[in-house]
């Protein structure tokens, strides 16, 4: 949430700035919420940039520049702390925050919370899933496909399939933007490490051997 704006003389108009890759769903949601508001307010959807980094930059520039033409922002989970600390986002009132928390899984809820305050209402779980072709998987003891369970096993299976002349590509979001950061963070956590401590204020990436292990796995997949 940012603030509230309204057209003079009419009902309150809330402007939602969201990503370009969700135009249809967000427009439909804005229309549905407006209909259910019974005239108390209407929501208008404004399209932000398509790329995640560009969305953040656009929002930051507009807020710092004093732009008050939008009220609700579509934030990525990695921005919550930054926007909260900078005063670019306003926390939800306690009763609203409680309703959000009651209907949200704990993991996504943590991404919308900073210093014990709720700054967002999670729209999805951001869960990482592995998709695979059953026909290329080795057979398990029960006769069913037995997909790899770790990234190391994925890399090893890909190499084996390549040697056999089978399709062996591994696809992962790992371009040099947020994608590679998220992937590295997943690898680091799997190896028992973390980028920062639980407070989010102290760097712990250089503790132990987890970072090296994570990078070795990423190199093996690449």
Domain coordinates in residue numbering, the chain:
5-74, 134-221
How far is the C-alpha of 75 from the C-alpha of 215, rounded, in Å? 28
Q: Is the pLDDT of residue 141 over 70?
A: yes
**Rounded mean pLDDT of 180-191?**
92
How far is the C-alpha of 114 from the C-alpha of 91, rounded, in Å? 9
Q: Is the pLDDT of residue 2 over 60?
A: no
C-alpha 4: how far from chain center = 25
pLDDT grade, residue 195 (50/70/90)? very high
Residue 21's pLDDT is: 83
Residue 9's pLDDT is: 61
Q: Dihedral of CA 100/116/73/108: which sign?
A: negative
3-state secondary structure of 157: helix
Give the CATH number of domain 5-74: 3.40.190.10
3-state secondary structure of 34: helix
**Rounded mean pLDDT of 173-191?**
89
Average pLDDT, the chain: 91
pLDDT grade, residue 160 (50/70/90)? very high
Say what the pTM is: 0.71
């Amino acid at each position: 949430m940012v603030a509230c704006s309204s057209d003079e003389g009419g009902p309150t108009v809330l402007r939602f700035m969201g990503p370009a890759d969700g135009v249809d769903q967000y427009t439909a949601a804005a229309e549905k919420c407006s209909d259910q508001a019974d005239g108390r307010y209407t929501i208008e959807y404004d399209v932000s940039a398509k790329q995640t980094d560009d969305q953040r930059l656009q929002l930051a520039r507009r807020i710092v520049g004093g732009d008050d033409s939008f009220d609700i922002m579509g934030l990525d989970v990695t921005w919550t702390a930054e926007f909260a600390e900078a005063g670019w986002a306003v926390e939800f009132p306690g009763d609203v925050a409680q309703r959000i928390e009651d209907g949200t899984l704990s993991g996504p809820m943590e991404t919308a919370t900073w210093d014990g305050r709720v700054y967002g209402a999670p729209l999805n779980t951001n869960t990482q899933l592995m998709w695979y072709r059953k026909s290329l998987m080795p057979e398990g003891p029960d006769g069913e496909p037995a997909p790899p369970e770790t990234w190391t096993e994925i890399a090893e299976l890909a190499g084996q399939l390549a040697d056999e002349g089978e399709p062996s590509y591994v696809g992962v979001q790992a371009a040099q933007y947020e994608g590679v950061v998220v992937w590295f963070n997943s690898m680091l956590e799997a190896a028992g490490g973390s980028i920062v401590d639980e407070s989010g204020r102290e760097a712990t990436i250089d503790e132990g051997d987890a970072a090296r292990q994570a990078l070795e796995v990423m190199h093996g997949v690449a």
